[in-house]
């Protein structure tokens, strides 16, 4: 299945110059099924400025040139365009031409020089092929170094362009989400009606852990906003180089302004910091997981709470313990995560594993990380970049990809957005499913002990 999607009114009246068969061939080659037309030179202009205005930060893309000799040719890159003046690495880039309805493909031979980001030109593939070269309706052609092709076969040695088009390539969503108000209502009702499987526990306790500024407090505020029906800011949140959360807080979400507390408590902690003696202390974390720390406990990074302290809860019940741990990570900072922070997270993960507590990763700020998602949050599971980041954090934290969930917190909005709500509510549902796993595992362990006795 495939179709062309015209992105705005300016191009909605224009037809693609690609035939239906050529469209099908390109989509089959890429394993994708949707092409969104971003740039059409005959409409927007045969200039580098027009190309970059419409195509920068978009990926993956297919660029297509046409000439009077009837040749249809171009290139594919998974890298987003920019005007940096630098080469970018792309091991999947290729040039192509059509021989009738058949596609002839020329893979990149020097991946480090796959695409060059030039301000005064259109799509610039290595030093081999440039469409709209130097803001002219012409092609620059120089095969050999980075791509190997025969000019006569590629474009018939006709270097004058009659048209140039650039398409964003979108794939089938790799996770299924129903973006409808009925789904939002269904998720809300499912959370409201949830009951822990252990009778002694009325509210499941979920601990939020993450680096300073990742959005832990904002996550609670956002979830709370969904159930309040408007954007709220109960937990202190914002931008700071050090943690704004200095106390251990247990936040109960209510269904409406005067509604009943929901069956989930989100526990907020001091942010993690790379350096030792700063941020959340690992010993304090153990006390939180086991239920020893009281609400509103004031963190002291240099001195964890001592078991003999007055406020220390010496005999916590199952209802006081943590039933699920959620790591809140800024999507924009995954690739630049400091080694010290990664080591702290690894240490925490091992400690949580020993206690048999399920772990989930929430990636925040997905809209800031990917222009496609910023344009429409419903693109989150179509974005190849977001999937790459999710796979990277899955590998770095040692959790399955199925345990990584993207969300978008409320930060600047005054009103709720249905699609953001659906992502947030879906994340809460995953938390509750993981809580069920905790109680199921606890029940199995108790049964095994009783059987042995």
Paired residues of 362 in beta bridges: 328, 405
Task: For residue 243, name the pLDDT band (cuts at 50, 70, 90).
Answer: very low
The helix/strand/coil state of 411 is: coil
Contacts of 307 (CB under 8 A, 6+ apart): 292, 314
Q: Which stretches within 107-214 are classed as H helix?
A: 151-155, 181-192
How many whole angstroms separate alpha carbon 74 and alpha carbon 163? 11
Give 110-133 pLDDT, tens digit per residue.
999 999 999 999 999 999 999 999
Cα 126 to its chain centre, rounded Å, is 29
The answer to whether the CB of 357 falls within 8 A of the CB of 322 is yes
Give 8-53 pLDDT, tens digit per residue.
444 445 678 888 788 788 887 876 567 889 999 999 999 999 999 9
Task: For residue 2, name the pLDDT band (cuts at 50, 70, 90).
Answer: very low
pLDDT for residue 172 is more than 80: no
Taking CB atoms within 8 Å and a gap of at least 24, the contacts of 179-182 are: 179/378, 179/418, 179/419, 179/422, 181/418
Q: What is the mean pLDDT of residues 382-386?
A: 83
Cis peptide before 60 (omega within 30 of 0): yes
* Burial of 206 from C-beta contacts in 10 A (0-12 / 13-18 / 19+): buried
pLDDT for residue 146 is more than 50: yes
pTM: 0.69
Backbone CA torsion sign across 415, 416, 420, 423 = positive
Residue 257 has a pLDDT of 76
Residue 1 has a pLDDT of 40
Mean model confidence pLDDT for the chain:
87
CATH of domain 181-452: 3.40.50.300
Residue 286 has a pLDDT of 84
Q: What is the mean pLDDT of residues 96-103?
A: 92
Alpha carbon separation from 239 to 96, 114, 236, 280, 300 (Å, rounded) = 47, 37, 10, 17, 21
Give 265-297 pLDDT, tens digit per residue.
999 887 887 766 565 667 778 888 998 877 766
Residue 256 has a pLDDT of 80
Residue-range domain boundaries for the chain: 3-170, 181-452
Count the neighbouring beta carbons within 10 Å of the beta carbon of residue 343.
11
């Amino acid at each position: 299945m495939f179709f062309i999607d015209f992105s705005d009114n300016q191009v909605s009246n224009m037809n693609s110059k690609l035939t239906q068969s050529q469209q099908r061939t390109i989509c089959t080659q890429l394993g994708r099924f949707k092409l969104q037309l971003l740039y059409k030179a005959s409409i927007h202009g045969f200039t580098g400025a027009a190309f970059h205005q419409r195509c920068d930060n978009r990926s993956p893309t297919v660029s297509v040139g046409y000439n009077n000799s009837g040749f249809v040719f171009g290139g594919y890159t998974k890298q987003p365009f920019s005007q940096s003046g630098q080469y970018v690495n792309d091991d999947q880039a290729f040039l192509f031409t059509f021989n009738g309805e058949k596609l002839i493909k020329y893979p990149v031979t020097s991946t480090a020089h796959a695409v060059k980001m030039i301000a005064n030109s259109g799509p610039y593939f290595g030093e081999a092929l440039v469409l709209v070269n130097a803001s002219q309706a012409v092609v620059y052609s120089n095969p050999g170094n980075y791509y190997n092709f025969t000019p006569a076969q590629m474009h018939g040695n006709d270097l004058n362009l009659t048209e140039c088009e650039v398409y964003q390539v979108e794939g089938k969503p790799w996770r299924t989400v129903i973006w409808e108000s009925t789904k939002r209502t269904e998720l809300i009702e499912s959370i409201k009606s949830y009951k822990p499987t252990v009778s002694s526990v009325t509210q499941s306790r979920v601990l939020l852990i993450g680096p300073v500024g990742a959005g832990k407090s904002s996550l609670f505020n956002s979830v709370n906003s969904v159930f309040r029906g408007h954007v709220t800011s109960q937990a202190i949140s914002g931008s700071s180089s050090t943690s704004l959360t200095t106390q251990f807080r247990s936040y109960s979400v209510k269904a409406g302004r005067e509604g009943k507390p929901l069956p989930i408590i989100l526990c907020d902690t001091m942010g993690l910091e790379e350096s030792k003696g700063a941020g959340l202390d690992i010993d304090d974390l153990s006390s939180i997981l086991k239920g020893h720390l009281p609400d509103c406990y004031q963190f002291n990074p240099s001195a964890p709470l001592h078991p003999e302290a007055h406020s220390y809860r010496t005999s916590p019940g199952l209802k006081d313990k943590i039933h699920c741990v959620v790591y809140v990570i800024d999507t924009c900072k995954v690739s630049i995560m400091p080694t010290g922070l990664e080591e702290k997270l690894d240490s925490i993960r091992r400690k949580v594993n020993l206690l048999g507590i399920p772990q989930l990763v929430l990636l925040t700020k997905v809209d800031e990380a990917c222009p496609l998602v910023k344009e429409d949050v419903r693109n989150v599971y179509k974005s190849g970049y977001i999937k790459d980041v999710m796979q990277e954090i899955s590998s770095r934290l040692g959790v399955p990809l199925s345990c990584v969930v993207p969300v978008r917190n409320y930060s600047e909005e005054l009103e709720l957005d249905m699609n953001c709500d659906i992502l947030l509510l879906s994340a809460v549902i995953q938390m509750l499913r993981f809580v069920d796993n905790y109680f199921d595992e606890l029940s199995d362990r108790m049964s095994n002990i009783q059987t042995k006795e």
